[in-house]
């Protein structure tokens, strides 16, 4: 019996960077401190100034530390911040679309200066990391909102999130000491080193990543299986960090993922692992950001569908695909797979797109996570054209239990 990719990841001892593609920037960053060194840092933290970080910053801190945001070794400098906003690159010219920054309040800043070592603590008071402060700089809230989210509208969840942060940012490399699980799914939270080891063990030279914050519906399944025709492995990589209040909770989604993958996908060609990142809802800029992260996890291809990471009417249907034409794809180093909007075609009795069916608009059933959420909120069972019946069972049960 062939060992599953997940099993390979769990038993792998990573001596060097494995996987089918080099990490972004060439080196897989590792800022996680363990053993006696961690014990010493925790003792030191007791006498250091402190910055309290919310859950979304803790998520970024974790992703930096395990290498998911390579080549970043800490929170961005002002030079990188300005380059991201002005040119959509890091200062060194490497494509990058969203600032990864550490906010500080005016009260905290009073006891912190460049050259200091500072403890980053959770809302519960646990030390998560030590940052060696290289710089404290002003943020440009309006420009950051426009350049990253395309709007200054405070109704946009991403804009609202950054407006809640401090007025200045702290830069510097981090040393991660937090041992708590930030994902909620520790058994499914594989690091980039672990996914790379799994791909290497499975012999996958080409791997496509699928980003989602919704249960997998029939359109998703169609895109994934089209992609599997041209690559050797699929990483289903749902985001399980902070999302909007009306998004389907992560535990329900994970049950849906396991159900559909067990019944309808080839087990030796799919790996399920969570991404404990906060959702930004930055549309096209987040599509680039998500692609970079998946390259660090070892993927060679990345599915970009309709309205990737979108919210409301802030972005055009295919803006997230078109932005890949604006970056140096040789430097980006991961292939975007651009799919048209998929739908259930009544004429052909299967999933299709404009490229594969001659049907009229009246013969098409369009699928979306938003539509599924609306149906569930109204007590309606999603039909087979929307999602597999076993997934509908999971969703209906979950929604009945929340009434």
Q: Which residues are catalytic?
A: 213-214
16 burial class (0-12, 13-18, 19+ CB within 10 angstroms)? exposed
For 194, left (φ over 0), alpha (ψ -120 to 50), or beta? Answer: alpha
Strand partners, 32: 176
Relative to beta strand 207-212, strand 301-304 is parallel
Residue whose tokens read 């646990």: 126
Contact 351, 345 (CB under 8 A): yes
Determine the Cα–Cα distance for residues 21 and 333; give it in Å rounded to an integer: 8
- Tokens for 85? 């906003």
Structure tokens that stand for 254 in this block: 């994970």
| CA atoms of 280 and 289, how far apart (whole Å) | 10
**DSSP letter at 32?**
B
As beta bridge partners, residue 102 has: 170
- Sorted by sequence, the CB contacts under 8 Å of residue 277 that are 6+ apart come out as 59, 60, 63, 68, 239, 241, 293
Q: How far is CA 116 from the centre of its chain?
A: 31
What residues form DSSP beta bridges with 338? Answer: 304
Q: Strand order in 364-366's β-sheet?
A: 350-352, 343-345, 364-366
Distance, in Å, from the CA atom of 23 to the CA atom of 292, rounded to the nearest integer, reads 9
Residues found in the chain:
403
**What values do phi and psi take at 247, rounded to 5?**
-75, 150
Instruction: Residue 79: name the closest of 105, 101, 64 by CA.
Output: 101
Q: Residue 128 in contact with residue 61, Cβ under 8 Å?
A: yes
């Amino acid at each position: 019996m062939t060992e599953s990719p997940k099993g390979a990841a769990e038993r792998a001892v990573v001596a060097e960077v494995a996987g089918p593609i080099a990490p972004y920037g060439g080196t897989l960053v590792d800022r996680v401190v363990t053993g006696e060194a961690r014990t010493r840092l925790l003792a030191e933290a007791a006498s250091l100034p402190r910055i309290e970080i919310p859950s979304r910053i803790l998520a970024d801190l974790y992703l930096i530390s395990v290498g998911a945001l390579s080549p970043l070794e800490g929170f961005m400098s002002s030079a990188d911040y300005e380059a991201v906003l002005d040119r959509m690159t890091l200062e060194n010219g490497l494509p990058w679309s969203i600032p990864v920054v550490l906010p500080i309040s005016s009260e905290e800043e009073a006891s912190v200066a460049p050259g200091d070592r500072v403890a980053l603590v959770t809302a519960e008071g646990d030390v998560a990391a030590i940052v060696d402060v290289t710089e404290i700089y002003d943020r440009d809230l309006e420009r950051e909102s426009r350049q990253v989210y395309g709007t200054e509208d405070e109704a946009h969840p991403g804009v609202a999130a950054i407006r809640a942060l401090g007025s200045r940012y702290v830069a510097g490399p981090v040393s991660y000491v937090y041992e708590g699980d930030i994902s909620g799914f520790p058994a499914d939270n594989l690091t980039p080193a672990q996914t790379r080891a799994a791909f290497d063990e499975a012999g996958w030279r080409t791997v496509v990543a699928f980003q989602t914050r919704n249960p997998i519906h029939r359109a998703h399944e169609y895109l994934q299986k089209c992609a599997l025709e041209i690559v050797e492995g699929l990483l289903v990589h749902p985001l399980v960090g902070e999302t909007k209040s009306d998004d389907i909770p992560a535990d329900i989604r994970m049950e849906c993922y396991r159900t559909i993958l067990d019944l309808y996908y080839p087990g030796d060609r799919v790996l399920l692992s969570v991404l404990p990142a906060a959702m930004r809802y930055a549309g096209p800029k987040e599509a680039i950001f998500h692609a970079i992260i998946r390259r660090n996890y070892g993927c060679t291809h990345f599915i970009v569908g309709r309205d990737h990471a979108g919210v409301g009417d802030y972005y055009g249907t295919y803006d997230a695909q078109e932005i890949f034409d604006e970056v140096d794809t040789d430097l980006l180093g991961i292939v975007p797979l651009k799919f048209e909007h998929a739908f259930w075609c009544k004429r052909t009795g299967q999933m299709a797109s404009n490229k594969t069916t001659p049907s009229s608009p009246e013969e098409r059933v369009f699928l979306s996570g938003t539509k599924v959420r609306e149906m569930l909120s109204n007590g309606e069972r999603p039909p087979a054209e929307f999602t597999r019946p076993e997934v509908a069972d999971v969703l209906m049960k979950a929604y009945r239990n929340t009434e």
